[in-house]
């Protein structure tokens, strides 16, 4: 789950203007738990995926192609808004995208996603009910959970002394130029809101002003903004503490025992990144075959091995090691998850969130 500074609202507007209403030509394959190349002549043996960087291992792409004969092309993006802008500009002709929960909600509102035929994805049964039928897509009519995760705090115990429990322990004057944070306006504002006891989706003008006051003190302390690979600055010793994605934190904990992880005491965001099909996708049956393939336990395990986020696939979790399951950055406890919030589509306020953070970063 990675976002940067182009606003969701403007990206959605561009996408709506571009017109994603062309009817796809589809003839789905007979349903099995193994991927099969769709038999319809109207649909080519092609699949175009537009996804987050560092999220789908190349080995998984290669195995799907080998099993089905479908040629897969993959492009990466670094933010939901980058993806939406590309679609809105008419580029790509993608069959699968990976929107986060609040983006799925917005795309559904704008009628920009193709409905999913659940009968073609029997491996949906492998997913935990905890990640299904959520308010952003009731009944999962348009999205299939791919990976979930949290945002938390990771620090180098050789460089940071004392206990770290929350955001207030990160953004201290003594940590100036030792901090890496996600380059993500929505995330950054959510931390400030949580520090004031305000829910992450309560982004009224008044609450944004409260967040501004907090961030005016916090952001001058930050050395590095990075949503693609914030772990790199920590591994290199360029910084000592960071607010990062759970999967990045898990890799650091696996890499070196000097790193520690904490779920912020103030609360944090639970993100759910899904697979979805744009309304104008040309290869819908191939996309559904890929979704079903991804949900096979052994394939889902491969993804967790490479990118250790919170895997919503219960059958895949049975294949993970005890050490993987015990990594607190990969798998927060049910108690911790119960205190987290998913992001909602906040409409026009998204541009104000972006402007707030952008203005403070340049000071």
Q: Which CATH number fits domain 8-148+272-330: 3.30.390.30, 1.10.1040.10, 3.40.190.10, 3.40.50.620?
A: 3.40.190.10
Give the residue-averaged pLDDT of 175-181: 97
Cα(193)–Cα(173) distance, rounded to whole angstroms? 20
Could you give the residue range(s) of every CATH 3.40.190.10 domain in the chain? 8-148+272-330, 149-270+343-361
In contact, 241 and 164? CB cutoff 8 Å: yes
Which pLDDT band holds residue 53 (cuts at 50, 70, 90)?
A: confident
Give the residue-averaged pLDDT of 289-317: 97
Provide φ and ψ at 33, rounded to 5°.
Answer: -75, -15
Q: Which of 284, 324, 283 is nearest to 307 (CA)?
A: 324
In contact, 166 and 172? CB cutoff 8 Å: no
297-309 pLDDT tens trace: 999 999 999 999 9
In contact, 120 and 28? CB cutoff 8 Å: yes
Q: What is the pLDDT at residue 91?
A: 65
23 pLDDT above the threshold of 50:
no
Q: What percent of the chain has pLDDT over 70?
A: 87
Q: What is the pLDDT at residue 29?
A: 40
Q: What is the pLDDT at residue 271?
A: 95
CATH number for region 149-270+343-361: 3.40.190.10
Contacts of 354 (CB under 8 A, 6+ apart): 5, 6, 7, 185
Task: Say what angle helices 185-195 and 205-218 make with each other, to 10 degrees.
Answer: 90
In contact, 293 and 299? CB cutoff 8 Å: yes
Cα(301)–Cα(79) distance, rounded to whole angstroms? 25
In contact, 175 and 241? CB cutoff 8 Å: yes
In contact, 80 and 3? CB cutoff 8 Å: yes
């Amino acid at each position: 789950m990675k976002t940067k500074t182009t606003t969701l609202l403007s990206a959605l507007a561009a996408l709506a203007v571009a017109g994603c209403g062309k009817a796809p030509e589809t003839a789905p394959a007979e349903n099995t738990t193994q991927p099969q190349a769709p038999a319809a002549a109207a649909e080519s043996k092609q699949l175009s995926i537009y996804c987050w960087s560092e999220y789908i291992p190349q080995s998984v792409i290669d195995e799907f192609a080998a099993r089905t004969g479908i040629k897969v092309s993959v492009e990466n993006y670094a933010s939901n808004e980058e993806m939406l802008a590309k679609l809105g500009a008419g580029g790509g002709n993608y069959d699968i995208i990976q929107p986060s929960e609040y983006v799925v909600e917005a795309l559904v509102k704008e009628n920009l996603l193709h409905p999913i035929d659940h009968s073609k994805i029997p491996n949906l049964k492998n997913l935990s009910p905890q990640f299904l039928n959520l308010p952003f897509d009731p009944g999962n009519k348009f999205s299939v959970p791919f990976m979930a995760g949290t945002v938390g705090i990771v620090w180098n115990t050789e460089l940071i002394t004392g206990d770290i429990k929350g955001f207030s322990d990160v953004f201290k004057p003594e940590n100036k130029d030792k901090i890496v944070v996600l380059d993500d306006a929505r995330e950054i504002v959510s931390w400030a809101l949580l520090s004031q006891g305000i829910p992450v989706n309560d982004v009224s003008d008044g609450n944004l002003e409260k967040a501004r006051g907090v961030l005016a003190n916090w952001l001058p302390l930050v050395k590095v903004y990075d949503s693609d690979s914030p772990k790199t600055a920590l591994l290199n010793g360029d910084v000592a503490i960071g607010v990062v994605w759970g999967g990045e934190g898990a890799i650091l904990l696996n890499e070196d025992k000097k790193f520690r992880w904490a779920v912020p005491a103030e609360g944090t965001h639970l993100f759910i990144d899904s697979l979805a099909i744009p309304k104008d996708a040309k290869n819908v049956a191939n996309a559904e075959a890929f979704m079903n393939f991804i949900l096979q336990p052994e394939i889902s395990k491969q993804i967790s091995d490479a990118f250790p986020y919170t895997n919503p696939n219960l059958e895949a979790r049975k294949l993970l090691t005890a050490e993987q399951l015990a990594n607190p950055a990969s798998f927060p406890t049910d108690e911790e998850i119960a205190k987290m919030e998913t992001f909602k589509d906040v409409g026009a306020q998204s541009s104000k969130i972006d402007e707030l953070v952008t203005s403070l970063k340049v000071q």
